[in-house]
Amino acid sequence: MRKAGELINDYLRESQLANNRGYPIGTGANGVVFESDIPGNVIKQRIGADEYDYNTNTQEADLQAIAADLGMAPRIAAVENFQGGIGNRIEMSDVRPNFETHGESYRGFPQGLDAVRVNQQLGQLALKGVDLGDRHNGNVLYNKMTGRPHHIDFGIADRVTGSDQVQALAEATANGFAAAGIKDVADIYRATVYDLLAGGDVNDAMDVAKQGFSRLQKIKQVA
């Protein structure tokens, strides 16, 4: 199977003029982002067939919509699905005028207070049954006025329930503690939650995970 990057390069060479959207304003692991014909919107166009089918595209849009309702992601304007998955599109609001990137490296990770805020949001999403997966400087933007994080690229986001949901919440919380400079608390908290999960006590593990997350939400500055 060809890599997603190769598919993207072929798409840009062969279909850019036919697409009539000009050069992309962004690329990801499984698609490219173009200006929309509608002012204030952009379009993410998926590349590839087998890996990026109707269900994947629809789920990505659905999970992004949950984050958007919480003010954490661009709002979805439209979703287009095509047979075989080639060219599936998600149209959304263009957040570039009000948001910016942080960090020197695209593949670097949020640090300090940025990381705390990102993990506070990941915890909120985990409580909604959404696991965003890997977050880095390339898929997190920040409000230019408030510094509030905003998430883009939901291609690897997933729905989670049961123990997976507990783990998503616990990881976000523990990572937030560590970013705030209280790694000892992070280690004890993570171990406690995972010990309960190992014993099959999912409900108790969720209760402990929520208690820790409640503490994380109160952190406004880092040590």
Which sequence spans correspond to the domains of the chain? 4-93, 99-217
Cβ atoms 85, 49 nearer than 8 A:
yes
Domain topology for 4-93: Phosphorylase Kinase; domain 1 (3.30.200)
Residues with Cβ within 8 Å of residue 135, at least 6 apart in sequence: 109, 110, 118, 122, 151
The SS3 call for residue 15 is helix
Q: Rounded CA gap, 120 and 152, in Å? A: 16
pLDDT by 10-residue block (mean), the chain, 223 residues: 42 42 69 88 76 68 96 94 70 95 80 96 98 89 96 91 98 97 97 98 98 97 84
Domain topology for 99-217: Transferase(Phosphotransferase); domain 1 (1.10.510)
Q: Which of 213, 214, 194 is nearest to 204 (CA)?
A: 194
99-217 matches 4-93 in CATH topology? no
Note the pLDDT of residue 45: 85
Note the pLDDT of residue 109: 87
Q: Rounded CA gap, 147 and 171, in Å? A: 22
Cβ atoms 122, 216 nearer than 8 A:
no
Phi, psi torsion values for 32, nearest 5 degrees: -130, 155
Q: Which of 136, 202, 195, 121 is nearest to 164 (CA)?
A: 202
Other C-beta atoms within 10 Å of 18: how many? 7
Note the pLDDT of residue 131: 97
Cβ atoms 27, 6 nearer than 8 A:
no
